Each structure stands twice: as C-alpha cells, then as structure tokens.
C-alpha cells in the first residue's frame, strides 16, 4: 500500500454546525492521537514547572540568606490586590473547566461563552498586575523607566531601585526582593498572556465547529496549560505577598 | 566488438521506473523546508550539525595552531579567548547535544519502532527550526563582537564582560527548547507508536538509549534555560542573584549550570552508547550480551546523573559533606557505565566479526571510551581533583568522551545507516583508511594533554611556559592529522551520494525493523504495517536474500 491509497481515519461531526476531524496519517486510531497529544503536553508542562523551579530555588536560597529583606519586601506588596488576583485566576480556572466540558459535550455556544469568560479573567488579572507595578514604580521600588540603565559601579546605585521613601533602608540588598518579585511575576505574566492567546485561538476553532464530542484535544490541552498558569500563581502569591 | 552485441531477438526488460522513496516522492525546496517527514527533518539536521561540526573543528584547529609556540602564534590573548569559547559553544550546543538524536535518532527511531513517523511531526519540524534560529543567533553573537566566557558562562565574569553574552545566551535558550522538543517527541513515540508485538524488551537498544536521553532532555534542559535567562536579566537589569556586588552568589550559578550540564554529558553520551550497542551486535552477528543490563543501565545513568553535578565544583566552595556525597555518587555512576562496556566487549567476543568501517569505528570507540571513562573516575576523586582541576587533564578527559567517544560513535552510526538513508554505499577502502587516520590523530592530539595536564598545564591559557612546548606541539600535529582524517571522511561520504554503488536492501544483515523497510524507505516507511514476532537481535530470523539482492 503506497501513501496515495492510504485511507485516513475520519471522526464524523456530531451535527451540521461541526466539521469532521481527520486523524493525521501517522496515527492508526483516534485514541492513539489523543493519548500522544496528552502525554506530550504533560511532558511539556513538566518542563514549565522545572523552568519556574529554578526561580523558586533562587527565591528560597536568598530568603534564607537575607530573611529580613524578604519579610520587609513582602510587606511593601499589597496583599489585598494579590488576593483579588488569586480569586480572579481561581474563578477563571473554573470557567476553563466548564469550557472544556462544554466542548466535550458538543455545546458550541456554551464553550465560546466559558472560554470568553476565561480570557476576560486573564485581562482583569493583567490589569490588576499593571496597577500593582505602577504602585511599585511610584515608590521607587521598581522604576521601569530606569530598568535598563545599568549599575553604577562608583556609587553602588541601581537606577531602578531608588527607594525614595527609604522603606528598605535598614535591610541589606533591598533590591534583591523586588528583582525576584519582578522576574517571577513578569515571567508568570508572559505565561498568562500566552495562555489567553491560546484560548482565543481555540475559540476560533470552536466557532468553526472543529471541536466536538469526537475531537476536543486542543481545548483540553489549552485547559491544562491554563490550570498550570493558575497553579504557579497559587505558589507565587503566598511566597511573595505573605512572606513567612 | 561484435561479440558484445546482444542477439536481436533477446527480450530487453523495460527500464523499471525508480521506486518511490522519501527522497524523490515530492520535489522542490518547499517540500523540504515544510516537510513533516521525520527522515527529511533528520537529513536537514544532519546537514546542519555537519556544518556546525566543521565550524567547531575549524576553531579547534585555530586554537591548536596558536598554541604551537609558548607565546602563541596567531592571536591576541583576547581573540584567543573568543576562539576557544566559540569552539566549545559550537561543539557542545550546536553539534554534540543535537547531533545523534536530531539526525540519526530522528531518521532511525520511528523505523525501529515500526511507526510511520514520530508522534508529533510538527513539533519535530519546530525543533529543527529552533536549532536553526539558535545557530543564526550564535553567528549573530560572533558578528556583534563575540564572547569570551568559555562555554560554561561562569558568573560573575559573564555578567561583567563587555561582549555579546545576551545574544549567545538567547541562542542557548532556543537550542535548549529545540532539544526538549526532540526528547519529548521520542518519549511519546516510544510509548504510543510501537508496532504490534514490539514489547519494551524487544526494543532495539538504540531506542532504549534515546528514551533515557529524552528523559534527561526534558527534565534537565529547562534548568539551563532559566539559568541563561537569569544571566541575561543580570546583564539587562541586574537582578543581583549571581552578582557579588549586589549581594548575589556566583556559586549559585555554578549549581544551576551543572545541574543541567552534568546530565547534559549523558544527553550527549547515551545516544552514542545506543549506537554502539546496535553496531556490536549487527557486525558481530550475535545477540547482545546482557540486553536488559544495558537497557536498565541507561535508565540508571539517567537517574544518578542528576545527583553528581557537584563534582565540577570541588574547588568552588561547597560543604565538605556535599563533596563526599558528590564524589561517592560519581564513582557510583561509573558502575552502569562499566556494565555497558563489558557487555559490548562480551558481545564481540567469539562473534562473527565483520571488520567493515562501522565496526572499526565501534572498536575505536571501545578503546577510547575505556580511557575517557576511567579518567573520569580519577577526576571524581576529591584529593586528585584538587590537583587536576582546570588543567589539560580535564580537557583531555572530556575530549576522550565528547570527541573520541561521542563523535566517533556518531561517525560509526552514520556509516552504518548511510546505505539505508541514501541507498548508496561509500568507498569502503577509503573509509577504513579514514578510521585509522582519525584514531591515530585523535590519540596523538589528546594523550599529550593528559601528560601536560597532570604536570600542571592549566586549561584555557593563551600562552604557556616553554617546558610544555613538546606536548603542545605533539598535540597540534595530532590535531592536523585528525582534521585530515575527517576531511577525507567528508569527501568520500559526499562523493558517494553521486557515484556510490547502490546499497543492498539490508546492507549489514540487521534484524531490527530499521532493516526490514525498503532502502531508502518510502514516505510512510513500511509497505505494510509491520508486526513483530521475533525477539530482538534474533539472527535466526535473518532474511539472507535481502543481503544479496540489490536495491531496485
Ligand atoms: Cu559531570
């Protein structure tokens, strides 16, 4: 059998508003495609966790070396804003679950509504994050305009960390907490944006009727990604805002 | 002559149309650049890593020529620093890590498990393009002024130095994800796409080795990714965690770096082990001695290799107890490695050994790897390492592993699967001559480095005291011999593509599935979906006809 007369496996659409799914030629069964996608994506999530693992390791190491800096630094963050953002993400994880469920049961309209709500959650999260960054900017704890101005060897000054209220004056290396805070939350924020973009992408596919009870793998995987983004924040929130 | 003219009534067979295979099934540059076929992606990888190897080799020759005289012959010290850094970075990140999985692994693994492709073909193509972006960024870093940190990018120097460290850091980040994607793909492929009847213990050992490699790629590489990102952030906005001026700790960088880069040693060497396991059995026509031992030792190496990174830091300042543990575990990782070496030798023992070029490379590997492995154990002992740390002894040790073992195993595998991949055979006589030149040149290059290292010659120095001159000159002569051997190899391999004899269907008499598909394989690899009924390496199942018949 040459590849010309190789017949692709088709998963029929459950209704007129959906389209058939063609299983890629190198899989023999739809189950094989589904399991391969799932396993691959879980492995990818493992690499994401390990990537953040390096940041967490740095956090714990310097928390151990400069405990006062981290405790005092954590007090400068607004835990109410952090808690609000935590609830927003938790809620968006619920809408994501409902979105995946709706896709699995071929309910196109509900899928679109729930996925749209999840994207809205991502937008609210980023807005609150922006307000928090602005507050840090005003107090000279992270001055974004001077972020890349370099390090002044002679004065020992970091242009982005002026701390003009002097809140961190009594602890060693006050910038360290804010540098780690910025790095961790910014990388997490990039993941939020990527996650939102992926959700918008599967919303287009949903609108075209590509996802239904017979084939919903991409919705499922994007859902997993969104839960990971949520999970990482669940760890970041207490570590940064409620420094033990 | 009239006697040569055939009688007029003889039936002359119609010239058969060339059988359709993956090389000729579609045409045009786009059918290659956008291909999802694992064999074509593997070939593009082969070309890419081949050029990276030649570039890295050219840098190596420049280093060796410079060291001909104690004061240095060619460069300023500054330029010398950049040249050896380029050599290390190109060889490690663009060649040794991706070479075997990306090229031979990509082509052979799906054949060996009887699949039509890897599980995630798009990700496979993305992996190649990430490799290409990494290569372009590395070239860009050279244009932007180069980098002089050594391939290890130790902080705080990598933070202070006035060079394109961020660009090369991004190159390594992207290359890391290229490597992750390949590994992830292989794991899923081995789990989900094995042919019916192909149980785990019927898998060829190259597959086992690539599987263990893939676990390391997926679980270790992200840590390198975040480490180079943090160095980039350090340079861009001074986080301070690696910078002692800002209260940071450079030793933390070393922990992060080696947490990846020790397992990376096994990312590099395990695929080489896999190739050697395959080749000793096929070319000795004898089942492997200790199949399960070799399979499990790959996994054991993968696990233990996560726990030994501190042996690179015996002089960096870590607790004495940690050093005891790291030293002990380093000895420990030698056990599964030695199991492999003994199993290979026992397989060759009393086998029906065919001394063709792939087997000659394999035998060269067995000798060189014994030296490379044992000198690693020497360096793993605490007191000896304090003397030998950062000397040419270390350089010689890891070149016996990285060049002498891994690159030679890559060459062995390349010669072994060349007829399967291209359907052509290279000139076997020239191939045997090249093996001898490479083997002699390699040892001439690096044996003197063991000696001068043990006598205190530090690595990475642009100049040296005249007492070391004989060793350096011997090493440089060796490097030129080695380089000419490799040039000969490249020459006959490339010409074989145009003038080589047609390969047999089963050139060497292998019994694994990669030898049961047509030569070269068709787009979907097998004419019929294969089913496996024999144990692995069961040579009683060999179809001798396939070794006689020419490919049609
Ligand atoms: Cu090591």
* Residue A11 phi, psi dihedral angles, 5° rounding: -105, 120
| Dihedral sign from CA coordinates of B315, B320, B321, B324 | positive
CA distance A199 to A113: 12
Task: Return the number of other C-beta atoms located less than 10 Å from residue A64's C-beta.
Answer: 9
Q: In the predicted model, what is the mean pLDDT of residues A122-140? A: 95
Domains of chain A: 37-241 (1.20.120.80)
- pLDDT for the residue numbered A4: 44
- Indicate if the pLDDT at residue B11 is higher than 70: no
Q: Six-digit token pair at A41?
A: 């994506």
The pLDDT of residue B552 is 41
Structure tokens at B63: 């280093």
**What does the pLDDT read at residue B528?**
85
Concatenate the DSSP letters of all residues of B342-409 into one string.
HHHHHHHTTS-----HHHHHHHHHHHHHHHHHHHHHHHHSHHHHHHHTTBHHHHHHHHHHIIIIIIHH
Confidence bin at B149 (pLDDT 50/70/90): confident
Shortest CA gap A195–chain B (Å)? 18
How far is the C-alpha of A131 from the C-alpha of A84, rounded, in Å? 12
Question: B231 exposed, middle or buried (CB, 10 Å; 0-12, 13-18, 19+)?
Answer: buried
pLDDT of residue A3: 44
Domains and CATH numbers, chain B: 40-547 (1.20.210.10)
Report CB contact under 8 Å: B239, A183: yes
Looking at the predicted structure, is the pLDDT value of residue B13 above 70? no
pLDDT of residue A6: 55
> What distance lies between CA B257 and its chain's CA centroid?
20
The C-alpha atoms of residue A73 and residue A67 are separated, in whole angstroms, by 10
In b/e form, how buried is each residue of B92-114, taking b as 16+ CB within 10 angstroms?
bbbbbbbbbbbbbbbbbbbbbbb
Residue pair B211/B187 in contact (Cβ under 8 Å)? The answer is yes
User: Residue B391 has which token pair?
Assistant: 């000397």
List CB contacts (< 8 A) between B123 and chain A. 40
Q: At A144, list the tokens.
A: 């974004």
Whether the CB-CB separation of A229 and A191 falls below 8 Å is answered with yes
Which of A25, A53, A175 minimises the CB distance to B116? A25
Output the pLDDT for position B549.
55
Model confidence at B117: pLDDT above 70 = yes
- Averaged confidence pLDDT in chain B: 91
d(CA B276, CA B208): 12
What are the tokens at B23?
A: 């090389």
Is A203:A116 a contact under the CB 8 Å cutoff? yes
pLDDT at B14 over 90: no
The per-residue pLDDT for range B36-45, each reduced to its tens digit, is 999 999 999 9
Q: Looking at residues B287-297, what average pLDDT do you find?
A: 91
Distance from CA of A226 to the nearest CA of B (A): 19
By the 10 Å C-beta count (0-12 exposed, 13-18 middle, 19+ buried), B333 is classed as buried
pLDDT reported for residue B404: 93
User: Which residues of chain A make contact with B25, given a CB cutoff of 8 A?
Assistant: 3
Give me A91's structure tokens. Answer: 């809620």
Kindly report the nearest CA distance between residue A124 and chain B, in angstroms.
Answer: 27
Q: What is the pLDDT of residue A1?
A: 37
Query: Is the per-residue pLDDT at B211 higher than 50?
Result: yes
Q: Is the confidence at residue B12, as pLDDT, over 60?
A: no
Nearest to B226 among A1, A43, A54 (CB): A54
Ligand 1 centroid–CA B387 distance in Å is: 17
Q: What is the pLDDT of residue B253?
A: 93
Q: What is the Cβ-side half-sphere exposure of residue A163, based on CA atoms within 13 angstroms?
A: 19
Per the CB < 8 Å rule, is A55 touching B226?
yes
Say if the Cβ atoms of B117 and A180 lie within 8 Å: no
Distance CA A221, CA A81 (A): 29
- Looking at the predicted structure, is the pLDDT value of residue A164 above 90? no
| Measured CA angle at A139 (ends A138, A140), to 5 deg | 90
Question: Is the pLDDT assigned to residue B348 strictly greater than 60?
Answer: yes
B122 and chain A in contact, CB less than 8 A: no
- Band of residue B147 on the pLDDT scale cut at 50, 70, 90: confident
pLDDT digits (tens, 9 = 90+) for B416-448: 999 999 999 999 999 999 999 999 999 999 999
Q: Prior bond to B156 cis, omega within 30?
A: yes
What sign does the CA torsion over B221, B222, B225, B231 have? negative
pLDDT value for B115: 94
CB within 8 Å of chain A, chain B residues 247-306: 247-249, 252, 256
Higher pLDDT, B315 or B375: B375
**Across residues B82-87, what is the average pLDDT?**
92
Residue B123 touches chain A, beta carbons under 8 Å: yes
Residues with Cβ within 8 Å of residue B341, at least 6 apart in sequence: B366, B369, B370, B373
> For residue A3, what is the nearest residue in chain B, using CA coordinates?
B524
Q: How far is the CA of B327 from the centre of ligand 1 (A)?
A: 10
pLDDT range class, residue A243, cuts 50, 70, 90? confident
Q: Band the pLDDT of B551: cuts 50, 70, 90.
A: very low
Give the Å distance between the CA of B299 and the centre of ligand 1.
17
Smallest CA–CA distance, residue B338 to chain A, in Å, is 30
pLDDT of residue A163: 87
Distance from CA of A138 to the nearest CA of B (A): 18
Contacts of B251 (CB under 8 A, 6+ apart): B313, B316, B317, B318
Average pLDDT on A108-120 reads 96
**Cβ–Cβ under 8 Å, residues B411 and B279:** no
Cβ contact B259:B309 at 8 Å? yes
Q: What is the pLDDT of residues B216-239, one digit of tens each?
A: 999 999 999 999 999 999 999 998
Closest partner residue to B528 (CB to CB) among A1, A46, A179 is A1
Q: Ligand 1 centroid vs B229 CA: distance in angstroms? A: 22
Closest CA to B483 of B450, B448, B449, B434: B434
User: Best mutation site among A47, A66, A232 for testing chain B: the one with the most B CBs within 10 Å?
Assistant: A47
Q: What 3-state class would DSSP assign to B162?
A: coil
Mean pLDDT over residues A222-239, rounded? 96
Chain B CB contacts of A174 below 8 Å: none
CA distance A11 to chain B (A): 19
C-alpha to C-alpha distance for B437 and B479, rounded to whole angstroms = 11
Q: How many whole angstroms from B311 Cα to the centroid of ligand 1? A: 6
Nearest to A36 among B116, B120, B249 (CB): B120
For residue B104, name the pLDDT band (cuts at 50, 70, 90).
very high
d(CA B547, nearest CA chain A) in Å: 23
The mean per-residue pLDDT over the stretch B507-519 comes to 90
**Chain B residues lying within 8 Å of A3, measured CB to CB:** 25, 522-524
- Residue A71 to residue A184: CA distance in whole angstroms: 17
Residues 6 or more apart from A118 whose CB is under 8 A from it?
Answer: A92, A95, A96, A99, A196, A199, A226
Residue B303's closest CA among B336, B325, B275?
Answer: B336
Distances (CA, A) of B117 to B35, B106, B125, B188, B218: 12, 9, 12, 12, 20
CB-closest option in A40, A150, A176 to B240: A176
Task: Say how many Å lie between the CA of residue B285 and the centre of ligand 1.
Answer: 35
Distance of CA B256 from the midpoint of ligand 1 (Å):
13
Find chain A residues with C-beta within 8 A of B260's C-beta: none
The answer to whether the Cβ–Cβ distance between B252 and A58 falls below 8 Å is yes
Q: What residues of A are in contact with residue B528 (Cβ under 8 Å)?
A: 1
Are A176 and B241 in contact (CB < 8 Å)? Answer: yes
With CB atoms and an 8 Å threshold, state whether B249 touches A65. yes
Q: What mean pLDDT is predicted for residues B393-404?
A: 95
How does DSSP classify residue B459?
A: T
pLDDT surpasses 80 at A30: yes
**What are the pLDDT digits (tens) for B460-511?**
999 999 999 999 999 999 999 999 999 999 999 999 999 999 998 889 989 9
Q: Around A184, how many Cα atoms within 13 Å sit in the side-chain half-sphere?
A: 25
For A149-160, what is each residue's pLDDT tens digit?
888 888 888 889
Q: Which of B378, B388, B399 has the alpha carbon at shortest distance from B63?
A: B399
Of B116, B225, B239, the CB nearest to A26: B116
Q: What percent of chain A has pLDDT over 90?
A: 78
Asked if B221 has any chain A CB less than 8 Å from its own CB, the reply is: yes
Which pLDDT tens digit goes with each residue over B260-288? 889 988 999 999 999 999 999 999 999 99
pLDDT for the residue B505: 87
Distance in angstroms (rounded) separating the CA atoms of residues A150 and A55: 22
User: Smallest CA–CA separation between B166 and chain A, in Å?
Assistant: 13
Give which of B378, B411, B395, B379 is closest to B448, Cα–Cα. B395
Give B-chain residues touching A184 at CB under 8 angstroms.
Answer: none
Query: Rounded mean pLDDT of A84-97?
Result: 96
Give the A:B interface size as CB pairs under 8 Å. Answer: 126
């Amino acid at each position: 059998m040459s590849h010309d007369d190789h017949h692709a496996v088709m998963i029929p659409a459950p209704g007129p508003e959906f389209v058939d799914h063609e299983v890629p030629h190198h899989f023999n069964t739809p189950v094989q495609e589904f399991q391969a996608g799932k396993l691959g994506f879980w492995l990818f999530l493992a690499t994401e966790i390990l990537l953040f693992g390096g940041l967490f390791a740095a956090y714990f190491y310097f928390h151990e070396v400069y405990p006062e800096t981290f405790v005092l630094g954590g007090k400068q963050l607004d835990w109410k804003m952090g808690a609000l953002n935590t609830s927003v993400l938790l809620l968006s994880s619920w809408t994501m679950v409902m979105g995946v469920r709706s896709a699995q049961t071929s309910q196109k309209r509900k899928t679109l509504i729930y996925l749209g709500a999840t994207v809205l959650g991502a937008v609210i999260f980023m807005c609150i994050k922006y307000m928090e960054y602005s507050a840090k900017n005003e107090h000279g704890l992270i001055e974004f305009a001077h972020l890349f101005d370099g390090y002044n060897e002679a004065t020992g000054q970091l242009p982005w960390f002026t701390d003009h209220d002097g809140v961190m004056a009594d602890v060693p290396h006050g910038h360290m907490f804010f540098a780690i805070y910025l790095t961790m939350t910014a990388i997490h924020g990039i993941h939020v944006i990527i996650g939102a973009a992926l959700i918008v992408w599967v919303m287009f596919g949903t609108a075209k009727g590509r996802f239904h009870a017979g084939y919903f793998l991409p919705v499922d995987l994007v859902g997993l990604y969104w839960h990971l983004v949520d999970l990482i924040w669940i760890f970041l929130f207490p570590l940064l805002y409620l420094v033990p | 002559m009239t006697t040569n003219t055939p009688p007029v009534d003889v039936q002359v067979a119609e010239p058969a149309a060339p059988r359709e295979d993956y090389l000729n099934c579609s045409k045009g540059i786009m059918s290659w650049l956008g291909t999802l076929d694992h064999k074509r992606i593997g070939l593009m990888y082969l070309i890419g890593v081949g050029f990276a190897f030649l570039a890295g080799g050219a840098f190596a020759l420049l280093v060796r020529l410079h060291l001909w005289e104690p004061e240095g012959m060619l460069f300023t010290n500054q330029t010398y620093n950049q040249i050896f850094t380029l050599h290390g970075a190109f060889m490690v990140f663009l060649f040794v890590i991706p070479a075997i999985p990306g090229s031979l692994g990509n082509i052979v693994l799906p054949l060996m498990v009887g699949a039509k492709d890897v599980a995630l073909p798009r990700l496979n193509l993305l992996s190649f393009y990430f490799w290409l972006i990494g290569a372009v960024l590395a070239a860009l870093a050279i244009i932007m002024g180069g980098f002089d940190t050594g391939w290890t990018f130790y902080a705080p120097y990598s933070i202070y130095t006035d060079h394109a460290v961020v660009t090369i850091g991004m190159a390594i980040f992207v290359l890391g994800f290229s490597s992750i994607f390949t590994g992830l793909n292989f794991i899923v492929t081995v789990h989900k796409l094995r042919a019916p009847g192909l149980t785990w213990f019927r898998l060829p050992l190259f597959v086992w080795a690539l599987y263990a490699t893939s676990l390391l790629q997926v679980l270790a590489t992200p840590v390198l990714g975040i480490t180079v990102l943090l160095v980039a952030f350090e340079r861009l906005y001074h986080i301070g965690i690696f910078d002692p001026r800002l209260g940071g700790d450079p030793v933390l960088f070393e922990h992060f770096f080696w947490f990846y880069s020790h397992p990376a040693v096994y990312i590099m060497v395990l695929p080489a082990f896999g190739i050697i396991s395959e080749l000793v059995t096929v070319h000795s026509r004898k089942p492997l001695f200790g199949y399960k031992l070799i399979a499990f030792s790959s996994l054991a190496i993968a696990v233990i290799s996560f726990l030994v990174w501190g042996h690179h830091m015996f002089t960096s300042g870590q607790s004495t107890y940690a050093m005891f543990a790291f030293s002990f575990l380093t000895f420990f990782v030698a056990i599964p490695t030695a199991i492999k070496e003994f199993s290979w030798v026992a397989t060759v023992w009393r086998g029906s050994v065919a001394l063709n070029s792939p087997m000659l490379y394999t035998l060269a590997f067995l000798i060189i790897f014994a030296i490379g492995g044992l000198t690693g154990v020497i360096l793993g002992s605490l007191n000896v390492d304090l003397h030998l740390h950062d000397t040419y002894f270390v350089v010689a040790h890891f070149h016996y592993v990285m060049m002498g073992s891994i690159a030679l195993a890559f060459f062995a595998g390349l010669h072994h699967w060349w007829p399967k991949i291209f359907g052509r055979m290279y000139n076997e006589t020239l191939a045997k001559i090249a093996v001898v030149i490479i083997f002699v040149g390699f040892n001439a290059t690096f044996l003197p480095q063991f000696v001068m290292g043990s006598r205190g010659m530090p690595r990475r120095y642009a100049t040296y005291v005249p007492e070391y001159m004989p060793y350096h000159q011997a090493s440089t002569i060796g490097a030129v011999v080695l380089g000419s051997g490799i040039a000969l190899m490249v020459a006959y391999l490339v010409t074989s593509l145009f003038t080589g004899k047609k390969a047999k269907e089963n050139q060497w008499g292998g019994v694994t599935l990669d030898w049961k598909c047509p030569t070269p394989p068709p787009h979907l690899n097998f004419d019929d979906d294969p089913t496996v009924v024999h144990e692995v390496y069961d040579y009683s199942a060999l179809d001798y006809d396939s070794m006689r018949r020419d490919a049609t």
